[in-house]
Amino acid sequence: MRFISWITQYKLMAVHQGYEVLATGQGRVTSPGYTVEFRPHDATHAEREQARRSFQYRGLVTAPGSEKELDPIDVQHRVSTFDTNVIADSELRARVEKALLNNPDFGRDYVLADEPVKLPPPWPAYDKLVAQGRRTLEMVVEKIKAQVDEAGYDPVAVIAYERENLNRPEVIAALEPQTADEPDVELVSA
């Protein structure tokens, strides 16, 4: 899960450390705790836009040396994020996620990031075009190019899907020449 905060370096004790005192008087940690630290300048464009819609920014900062009385700095520089995938222990990750979702600051200081919108495949069998067995990557590239040329699929959409999913440089390089707006025309004097 990914969370967005409007506060630049937001920190929150999500899970308190379990601790017990033994009969000898010494202490022992029974379960790990976790402090969530949101990372500044890590938000995607979509997350910054979600932050604009989700939060009411208080105390806008004015740019230094501004001639105007109120010349606010764009709030996108305040947005910070936290991704629970950084927690290796799956049990602790689940506890942190539950704590974040049930915290009273949820919705006020931070929100759950929207799932990024995934592009649909350019055609139904696109994901099956992979190098395996006797089919080489060169054969896959030729098949994709043929589909784009013969069936009229948009090469820009195919490249976007390829970058988001399989990200094969050979496929992208083969399709990029087809994305040019105007073909090169040689001028001949009359």
pLDDT at 81: 93
- What pLDDT is recorded for position 62? 57
Tokens encoding 176: 């990029």
pLDDT at 80: 92
Q: Is 59 exposed, middle or buried (0-12, 13-18, 19+ CB in 10 A)?
A: exposed
Residues 19, 21, 25, CA angle at the centre, nearest 5°? 145
Average pLDDT, stretch 89-116? 91
3-class secondary-structure state, position 167: coil
Q: What pLDDT does 189 receive? A: 45
Summary mean pLDDT of the chain = 82
29-73, pLDDT tens digit by residue? Answer: 888 889 999 998 888 878 888 888 888 766 555 555 655 555 555
What span, in angstroms and rounded, lies between the C-alpha atoms of 175 and 91?
A: 44
The structure tokens listed for 10 are 């937001």
- Binning pLDDT at 50, 70 and 90, where does residue 101 land? very high
Adjacent-strand bridge partners of 72: 62
| Confidence band, pLDDT 50/70/90 cuts, at residue 183 | very low
Q: What's the pLDDT at 55?
A: 83
| Lowest mean pLDDT, pick from 20-34, 85-99, 131-145, 167-181 | 167-181
Of 51, 55, 59, the C-alpha closest to 76 is 51
- Rounded to 10°, the helix 155-164/137-151 angle is 140
Name the amino acid, one letter, at 51.
A
pLDDT at res. 52: 84
Question: What pTM did the predictor assign?
Answer: 0.56
Per-residue pLDDT, 73 = 56
Q: What is the pLDDT of residue 100?
A: 94
Nearest to 3 by CA among 99, 88, 68: 99
Q: Is 138 left (phi over 0), alpha (psi -120 to 50) or beta?
A: alpha
pLDDT value at residue 182: 40
Q: Please check the confidence at residue 137 and state whether its pLDDT lies above 50.
A: yes
Lowest pLDDT segment from 103-107, 119-123, 131-135, 154-158:
131-135
Helices (H) and strands (E) in the chain, counts: 5, 8
